[in-house]
């Protein structure tokens, strides 16, 4: 039964990583930088979720779907604004400068958000009430909590929405065109600045969804929660092939499974190391990732 | 014939595609030592891509390239440069925020005294090596008329001077062969003429073999010993300048392109 | 103005959305009850600030530009003066100036004669060491190392472990610490230095995290979360600085027939740190004028061009990485000897960011700038009671603002002026 449990864990973790990894991969695809602050957007999303939940419960709301939808939507709203502002304030003025420069700015932004949240709410974890307690029993030694079902389902819903957006809508197609060749897209009359903003907004929304889900699953939220998970989701994006959206989803799940098995069989203390070693290995053997295509840098 | 010496550079049926686009399609040619060999062709014909294959920035999908007895296809670019084959770039690539002199010193990296200890405590052999490097840099600055700009940042130079500096930077590495990618692009007629003289001088005085990509037909026809014409990745002519000029295939390729 | 006003309104509305559900509600936990207390004032103040900044954006940009121009003029003046000196034939080295600085720094501890004030300078020196080392990779080679503090940790633990288990002395462990850190840099850098620079950033960041985890969990070697204690202090030619010497030794005060005073030990550490800083400044100032240093900068400017000239960019990167880690290792060893106790919490990611902030602020590639920035940051970090809470916020803002405003730092490095030898006119070059 342990195997099944790990598989379930893997799916849960993988969903989270996949949601966050999409933001990394899209931003990297279009402006070629690691958005270090992305993990912090996720963290802010989680906090907003908690605040919305607390407000709802103090005004006496009781329906679970109301909670869930309100938390998700408002977290998405706030995170979108955040993602948009981050790009406007910290990255856009730095376009075309040496690669190092936006990277340092991104680190600064990541730290700023973390400390901003720490100063406004305090440097400690906050408990999140269980929204959907209970589980459903399969056999005596094995049960699946409702949260473990909810997470993949919500993830699936957002992935489907996202896939629809990116492949069917005009804006989505413009996003992909911009990712493939920004100059060309610009020549074709696409306002690439707007598209870049849209990409930040979408990435941030998915991260906010992940933030809300995680806070419900683990029952806690804190200022530092975005940092490690950010690195891991980036690992997932690299694993799948940076720049590739299906790659980010796949990479997220591969990493989720690897980690859940690693923490079961090697020990929880070392699970962060596993993903790091995985990252090093991919970069060594398969730098373009599972689904990415090897690009020849134009000289 | 007695003269069975192999060519300095021989490119044998190389091909390279990007995704679906066949940028270079089974191209072969040979450059003899001491030649000025030009590659011409319309935009996107694959000229720069061939340069990139020769200088190790791209690895051709198939085919062989040999330089001075070394098989160099797919080799890393810095190794190829060490064999004495250096290049300039279509879009100038100087060390922009470093001074002109520094650009020339950096280029001598492989001949410099790189022993850390002797550099840190300035041993005599280190001083000597540095002074020699400086001499060589000054020599080329003088030859190319850049002495007055020695301590200016490279990106503060005029466009034409930057192109010249790029050539100087190649020359301080003491190359056997020089690949010049559109060195006359953006130059005025007078500068182009000077460049023309310079290239011939490099060959005549320093024995440099030159492989040249150029759009400026006058320049090409004046100085080339041989011309290779490319169109859509394929060789459509490889001949003497006078013959190429009257080649119907070349004329149609160009007429189809321009005007 | 109308445009600005519109933008200001939009920015204010967005800040309202952002702030009201983050800082605008304080989460309070009482028992099992969680409530949110509204803090409207925070939101109002935040929105007002954003509104004003946006409204007077042009003026603000103007002020910043003006300030930047003042700095530029200063730097330029210094450069011109320097060139004038060099043109006259004398070297850049100006003995009088350096001697004065050295004398001031040497008498300083005796004048203040106070543990706290001496300690502050020792801290500053450590930051200077770290920042000068990081500057090699970030400022010169243009590579982002986000796990720099991990190499500092490697240095510290090298001494800690060698001393704890094998009784190595400080002086023997000092070069070893540097070398171990350099080796760690090479091993880590090797797989990633071939790849794009961004990967290096994330891998070094990951390495920093992993190292801290390892330090916490490999208890039998590293002492786990408690770390390693009772590390030996360095000796001066075998003379110790404790009240009582280890078996057979003579402590400093007895050797010189003085009264025991623990401040003597602080003097010693002060001068040791100063010596390390001087050594580092000298070595780095040499390195950057040497072929190796030039190749670092060339790499930052254009890697493709480097390769085309026969420079092996991977080994150039590796050399920058290794040498920079070496200095972190030295600093780490000194830190372990000074603290006498090391534990994982001294080597968290935050520290890497602080050192990065120093480099970024001081001016990538500029030694003087970095020294000034190190002083500023060290004082802000440990010696400003009022700003304690806000210091990390300030550091992170420094990173962003500097990148937008002056990416090459407050005091950017000036290009070296190389005097021509003018020999080629009389004689032909032998090439
Ligand atoms: N790294 C690359 N990735 C994808 N396509 C490439 C790459 N390098 C070159 N190409 C494509 O290969 C074709 C040939 O390009 P190349 O630069 O060799 O042309 P060229 O003959 O030098 O043209 P020009 O006269 O404009 O310089 C072009 O269609 C170009 O877009
Ligand atoms: Mg070209």
The full set of domain ranges for chain A reads: 2-225
Flag whether residue A295 sits within 8 Å of chain C, measured between CB atoms.
Answer: no
Percent of chain A whose pLDDT exceeds 90: 52
Per-residue pLDDT, averaged over A93-100, amounts to 87
State the pLDDT at residue A216: 92
State the pLDDT at residue C238: 66
If one compares C298 and B218, the residue with the highest pLDDT of the two is C298
pLDDT higher than 90, residue C307: yes
Return the closest-CA partner of residue C411 out of C356, C359, C363: C363
Pairwise CA distance, residues A126 & C306, whole Å: 52
Pairwise CA distance, residues B84 & A51, whole Å: 67
State the pLDDT at residue C261: 72
pLDDT higher than 70, residue B215: yes
Confidence (pTM) = 0.90
Per-residue pLDDT, averaged over C77-84, amounts to 73
Chain A residues 171-190 within an 8 A CB cutoff of chain C: none
Return the closest-CA partner of residue A74 out of A200, A209, A225: A209
Domains of chain C (ranges plus CATH)?
A: 2-84 (no CATH), 112-405 (1.10.3470)
Which residues are close to ligand 2, an ion, with C-beta < 5 A?
B 48, 90
Q: Whose CA is nearest to atom 11 of ligand 1?
A: B23
* E strand or H helix at C146: none
State the pLDDT at residue C72: 81
Both tokens of residue C335? 């830190």
Per-residue pLDDT, averaged over C379-388, amounts to 75
Pairwise CA distance, residues C427 & C431, whole Å: 12
State the pLDDT at residue B26: 93
The full set of domain ranges for chain B reads: 1-84+177-259, 96-174
Expressed in angstroms and rounded, the spacing between residue B225 Cα and the centre of ligand 2 is: 21
The domain defined by B1-84+177-259 folds into Rossmann fold (3.40.50)
pLDDT higher than 90, residue B56: yes
pLDDT band, very low/low/confident/very high, at C426 (cuts 50, 70, 90): very low
Q: Whose CA is nearest to atom 18 of ligand 1?
A: B46
Return the closest-CA partner of residue A151 out of A209, A231, A77: A209
Q: What pLDDT, in 10s, does the model give residues B63-75? A: 999 999 899 998 9
Kindly write down the DSSP assignment for every residue of C76-123, as one continuous string: HHHHHHHHHHHHTT--S--HHHHHHHHHHHHHHHHHH--HHHHHHHHH
State the pLDDT at residue C153: 95
Chain B nearest-CA distance from A175, in A, is: 21
pLDDT band, very low/low/confident/very high, at A125 (cuts 50, 70, 90): very high
Pairwise CA distance, residues A51 & C27, whole Å: 7
List the single best residue of A84, A98, A107 to mutate versus C (max C Cβ within 10 A): A107
ipTM over 0.85: yes
CB A288 within 8 A of CB A295: yes
A77-91, A220-234, C374-388: least confident range: C374-388
Instruction: Answer whether B136 sits within 8 Å of C420, measured CB to CB.
Output: no
For a mutational test of ligand 1's pocket, the pick from B17, B24, B46, i.e. the residue with the most ligand atoms closer than 8 A to its C-beta, is: B46
Per-residue pLDDT, averaged over B126-132, amounts to 90
A99-103, C44-48, C251-255: least confident range: C251-255
List the single best residue of B21, B44, B58, B91 to mutate versus A (max A Cβ within 10 A): B58
Q: What pLDDT, in 10s, does the model give residues C142-172? A: 998 999 999 999 999 999 999 988 888 889 9
CA C123 to chain centre: 11
pLDDT higher than 80, residue C186: yes
pLDDT higher than 80, residue B256: no
């Amino acid at each position: 039964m342990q195997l099944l449990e790990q598989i379930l864990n893997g799916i849960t973790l993988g969903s989270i990583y996949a949601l966050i990894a999409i933001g990394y991969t899209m931003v990297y695809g279009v402006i070629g930088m690691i958005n270090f602050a992305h993990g912090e957007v996720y963290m802010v999303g989680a906090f907003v979720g908690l605040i919305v939940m607390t407000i709802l419960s103090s005004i006496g709301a009781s329906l679970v779907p109301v909670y869930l939808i309100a938390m998700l939507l408002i977290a998405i709203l706030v995170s979108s604004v955040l993602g948009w502002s981050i790009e406007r304030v910290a990255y856009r003025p730095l376009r075309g400068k040496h690669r190092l420069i936006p990277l340092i700015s991104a680190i600064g932004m990541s730290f700023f958000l973390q400390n901003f949240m720490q100063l406004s709410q305090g440097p400690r974890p906050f408990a999140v009430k269980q929204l959907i307690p209970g589980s459903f029993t399969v056999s005596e030694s094995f049960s699946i909590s409702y949260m473990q079902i909810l997470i993949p389902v919500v993830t699936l819903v957002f992935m489907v929405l996202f896939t629809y957006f990116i492949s069917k809508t005009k804006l989505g197609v413009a996003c992909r065109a911009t990712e493939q060749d920004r100059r060309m897209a610009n020549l074709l009359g696409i306002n690439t600045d707007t598209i870049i903003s849209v990409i930040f907004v979408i990435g941030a929304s998915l991260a906010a969804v992940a933030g809300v889900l995680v806070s419900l699953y683990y029952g806690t939220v804190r200022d530092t929660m975005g940092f490690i998970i950010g690195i891991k989701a980036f690992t997932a994006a690299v694993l799948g092939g940076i720049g590739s959206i299906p790659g980010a989803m796949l990479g997220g799940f591969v990493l989720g499974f690897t980690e859940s098995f690693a923490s079961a069989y090697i020990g929880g203390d070392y699970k962060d190391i596993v993903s790091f070693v995985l990252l090093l290995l991919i970069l060594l053997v398969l730098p373009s990732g599972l689904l990415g295509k090897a690009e020849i840098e134009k000289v | 014939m007695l003269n069975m010496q192999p060519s300095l550079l021989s490119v044998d049926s190389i091909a390279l595609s990007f995704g679906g686009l066949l940028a270079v399609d089974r191209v072969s040619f040979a450059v003899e030592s001491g030649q000025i060999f030009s590659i011409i062709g319309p935009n996107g014909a694959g000229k720069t891509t061939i340069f990139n294959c020769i200088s190790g920035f791209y690895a051709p999908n198939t085919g062989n390239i040999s330089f001075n007895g070394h098989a160099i296809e797919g080799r890393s670019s810095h190794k190829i440069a060490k064999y004495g084959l250096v290049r300039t770039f279509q879009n100038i690539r100087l060390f922009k925020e470093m001074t002109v002199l520094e650009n020339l010193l950096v280029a001598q990296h492989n001949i410099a005294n790189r022993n850390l200890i002797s550099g840190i405590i300035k041993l005599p052999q280190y001083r000597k090596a540095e002074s020699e490097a400086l001499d060589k840099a000054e020599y080329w600055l003088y030859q190319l008329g850049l002495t007055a700009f020695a301590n200016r940042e490279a990106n503060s130079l005029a466009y034409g001077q930057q192109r010249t500096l790029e050539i100087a930077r190649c020359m301080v590495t003491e190359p056997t062969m020089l690949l010049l990618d559109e060195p006359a692009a953006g130059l005025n007629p007078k500068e182009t003429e000077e460049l023309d003289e310079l290239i011939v001088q490099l060959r005549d005085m320093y024995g440099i073999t030159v492989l040249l990509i150029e759009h400026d037909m006058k320049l090409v026809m004046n100085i080339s010993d041989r011309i290779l014409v490319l169109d859509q990745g394929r060789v459509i002519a490889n001949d003497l300048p006078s013959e190429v000029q009257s080649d119907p295939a070349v004329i149609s390729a160009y007429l189809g392109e321009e005007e | 103005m109308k445009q600005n006003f519109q933008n200001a309104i939009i920015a204010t509305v967005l800040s309202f959305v952002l702030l009201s559900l983050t800082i605008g509600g304080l989460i309070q936990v009482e028992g099992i009850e969680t409530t949110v207390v509204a803090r409207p004032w925070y939101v109002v103040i935040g929105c007002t600030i954003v509104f004003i900044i946006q409204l007077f954006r042009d003026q603000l940009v103007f002020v910043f530009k003006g300030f930047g121009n003042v700095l530029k003029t200063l730097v330029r003046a210094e450069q011109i003066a320097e060139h004038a000196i060099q043109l006259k034939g004398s070297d850049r080295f100006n003995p009088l100036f350096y001697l004065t600085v050295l004398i001031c720094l040497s008498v300083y501890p005796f004048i203040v004669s106070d543990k706290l004030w001496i300690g502050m300078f020792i801290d500053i020196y450590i930051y200077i060491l770290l920042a000068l080392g990081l500057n090699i990779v970030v400022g010169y080679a243009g590579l982002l190392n986000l796990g720099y503090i991990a190499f500092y940790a490697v240095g510290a633990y090298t001494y800690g472990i060698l001393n704890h288990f094998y009784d190595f002395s400080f002086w023997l462990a000092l070069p070893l610490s540097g070398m171990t850190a350099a080796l760690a840099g090479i091993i880590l850098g090797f797989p990633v230095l071939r790849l794009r620079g961004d990967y290096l950033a994330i891998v070094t960041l990951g390495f920093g995290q992993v190292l801290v985890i390892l330090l916490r969990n490999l208890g039998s070697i590293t002492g786990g979360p408690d770390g390693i204690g009772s590390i030996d202090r360095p000796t001066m030619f075998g003379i110790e600085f404790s009240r009582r010497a280890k078996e057979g030794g003579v402590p400093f005060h007895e050797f010189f027939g003085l009264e025991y005073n623990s401040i003597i030990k602080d003097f010693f550490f002060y001068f040791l740190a100063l010596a390390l800083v001087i050594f580092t400044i000298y070595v780095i100032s040499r390195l950057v004028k040497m072929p190796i240093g030039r190749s670092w900068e060339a790499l930052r400017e254009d890697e493709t061009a480097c390769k085309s000239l026969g420079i092996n960019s991977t080994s150039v990167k590796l050399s920058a990485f290794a040498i920079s880690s070496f200095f972190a290792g030295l600093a780490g060893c000194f830190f372990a000897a000074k603290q006498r106790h090391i534990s994982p919490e001294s080597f968290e990611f935050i520290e890497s960011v602080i050192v990065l902030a120093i480099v970024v602020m001081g001016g990538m590639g500029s030694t003087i700038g970095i020294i000034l920035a190190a002083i500023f940051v060290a004082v802000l970090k440990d010696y400003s009671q009022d700003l304690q809470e806000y210091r990390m916020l300030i550091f992170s803002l420094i990173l962003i603002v500097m990148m937008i405003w002056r990416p090459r730092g407050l005091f950017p490095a000036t290009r070296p002026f190389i005097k021509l030898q003018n020999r080629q006119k009389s004689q032909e070059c032998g090439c």
